[in-house]
Amino acid sequence: MSYLFLVHHDVARAELAAALAELLSLPVTAVDVGDLGRPDRHWDRPVNCTVTPMVGDLRLHLDMYFAAGVVSPPEAEAAAWLAGRLGTLVAYQSVPSWPSAYWLAGPDGQRTRARLDSDEYDEHERVICRVDAVEAPVPLLPAVRVAAIPEVIREYRMPTPLSGALDAVMRPEPKTGSAAWYAANRLGAWEGMVSRLTAGWHPDGWYPAGHYRGDLEIRDALVSAADVLPEVFRAQFTAALDTIDRRFLDATVDDGGEALAAATGTVPDRWWWRRITHPLPWHGMPDGR
């Protein structure tokens, strides 16, 4: 088991060791905390925490490893507990494949998404770690802007059983970049959006207007997509698309396209462009767009 945390305050190493021992219900002698490059480490201890100092909004990078047998809470629980125990902010990645997408746990028990910027170094070659935006106000970072962080949404994949079933039988597999490949992938994207819609806009309960418009453009591209598939797969493709469309219809209302047009500009005259959820997908976005 391991944790990777970023911490707002430059916490004393002894205080950090005591907090980790308390978190893990171990004696402090079972925990080694030391800065990167120090020779006097105790690598034989069950808990090792390597500290890399940074500058900016987040001052410490903590890389923790636990020996087999050490019982540790889930990462989110550990971050929240340490934030409260140390009276600071603790950041951890929310989506591993998106390096700037983090959760930020505060000492008040609140948690918000945060976008980090850590691409620069100071004159001492220390990482400059800035918090670019948060989705809710953070008292310890009053100057940081509050804004939506929509880039992580599509990293939370949604179930696509209908397009998945089609993918499983399409043999030979369509060549990457071919018309058939695009048709199959667009069907999956459309099904994924409808699954997200019916799940209440997972993961955070809102969906940007620009994302929604892009998904309807994908639906545009599916109008004649079945025609590019081998004939043996066309009926299954069409049936899957019809089922997904019915789910979309059942979960939306007809507003004539007015809400999306107001948010993104003129919309085409196709039935799916007139459909929208109530409340609007982007209702509740941190920046209101």
d(CA 254, CA 267): 14
d(CA 150, CA 147): 9
Question: Once rounded to an integer, what is the mean pLDDT over residues 183-187?
Answer: 95
The domains of the chain are located at: 2-147, 153-276
pLDDT of residue 289: 47
**Cβ count near 42 (within 10 Å):** 13
pLDDT of residue 98: 75
Question: Once rounded to an integer, what is the mean pLDDT over residues 212-216?
Answer: 98
pLDDT of residue 119: 84
The tens digit of pLDDT for each residue in 255-273 reads: 999 999 999 999 999 999 9
Question: Once rounded to an integer, what is the mean pLDDT over residues 42-64?
Answer: 97
Render 115-172 in DSSP notation, one character per residue. EEEEEEE-TTS-EEEEEEEESS--TT-TTSEE---GGGGGGS----HHHHHHHHH-SS
pLDDT of residue 105: 98
pLDDT of residue 133: 96
- For residue 89, is pLDDT > 60? yes
Percent of the chain with pLDDT over 90: 85
Tokens of 178: 């071919």
pLDDT of residue 57: 98
Which of 54-63, 224-233, 252-261 is predicted least confidently?
224-233
Q: Say if residues 42 and 29 touch (Cβ distance below 8 Å).
A: no
The tens digit of pLDDT for each residue in 120-146 reads: 899 889 999 999 999 999 999 999 999
Q: Work out the pLDDT band at 118, boundaries 50, 70, 90.
A: confident
Task: Round the CA-based radius of gyration of the chain to a whole number and report it.
Answer: 24
Alpha carbon separation from 9 to 86, 94, 120, 137, 148 (Å, rounded): 9, 21, 19, 18, 25
The tens digit of pLDDT for each residue in 65-79 reads: 999 999 999 999 999
The tens digit of pLDDT for each residue in 230-240 reads: 899 999 999 99
